[in-house]
């Protein structure tokens, strides 16, 4: 019987790339906000299951948990709402922490019985911003520092699980294009990591033999 992997934010970009990497070896449950957004990736990957749910609607999440046994949980969904501390509003901070930390913590909590049953591996798509904060990235970096702390605590509390924090630099995705446009810069794809490269790092972490625990993976773009 093939292992099962649930990937959030899997309709496009990095999430879709991770789904493609894991599809040959895993049964996939692909999460996103709407069923329509998942149509293309589920059609591309026959046998995958669509799980449309707003991860910040905690009652809906709890009511629709799609598995009783889970081998891999990839937390990829998140937002990047950038701005200086002077420009940032209370709502921005709340939205960022809700999407990037609280929703992750609650989905993990709800899925803990399934993860324990599957000897599961939790993969947190963090960021270079989870290791260092830059000007204009305060609320986002703070949420990613918090996500790293969540992973550290989960690793200690659940010794039967593996927990890996992936810290990629900036990735060539639609979200990155929006960020660069907001910064007023010119978009040069070769300046960023390929989504497929980060997805391969996720697969490598998942496929690490059981005698090792890959706790953190840091990737930086080379510009090549």
Supply the residues annotated as catalytic. Answer: 140
- 125/110 Cα distance (integer angstroms): 19
Name the strand (E) or helix (H) holding 168: strand 162-168
Whether the CA torsion 108, 109, 110, 113 is positive or negative: it is positive
Distances (CA, A) of 166 to 36, 44, 61, 124, 198: 28, 25, 24, 6, 9
End-to-end Cα separation, the chain, in angstroms: 40
Phi/psi for 84 (5° steps) reads: -70, 165
């Amino acid at each position: 019987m093939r292992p099962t992997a649930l990937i959030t934010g899997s309709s496009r970009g990095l999430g879709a790339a991770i789904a493609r990497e894991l599809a040959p070896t895993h049964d996939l449950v692909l999460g996103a906000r709407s069923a329509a957004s998942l149509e293309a990736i589920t059609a591309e990957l026959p046998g995958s299951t669509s799980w449309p749910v707003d991860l910040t609607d905690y009652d809906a999440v709890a009511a629709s948990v799609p598995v009783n046994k889970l081998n891999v949980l990839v937390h990829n969904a998140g937002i990047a709402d950038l701005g200086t501390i002077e420009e940032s509003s209370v709502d921005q901070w709340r939205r960022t922490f809700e999407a990037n930390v609280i929703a992750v913590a609650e989905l993990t909590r709800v899925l803990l019985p399934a993860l324990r049953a599957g000897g599961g591996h939790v993969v947190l798509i963090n960021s270079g911003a989870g290791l260092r904060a830059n000007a204009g990235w305060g609320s986002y970096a703070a949420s990613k520092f918090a996500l790293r702390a969540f992973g550290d605590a989960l690793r200690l509390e659940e010794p039967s699980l593996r927990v890996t924090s992936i810290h990629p630099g900036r990735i060539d995705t639609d979200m990155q294009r929006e960020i660069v446009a907001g910064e007023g810069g010119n978009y040069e794809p070769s300046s960023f990591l390929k989504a497929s490269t980060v997805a391969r790092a996720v697969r490598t972490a998942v496929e690490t033999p059981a005698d090792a625990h890959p706790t953190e993976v840091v990737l930086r773009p080379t510009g090549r």
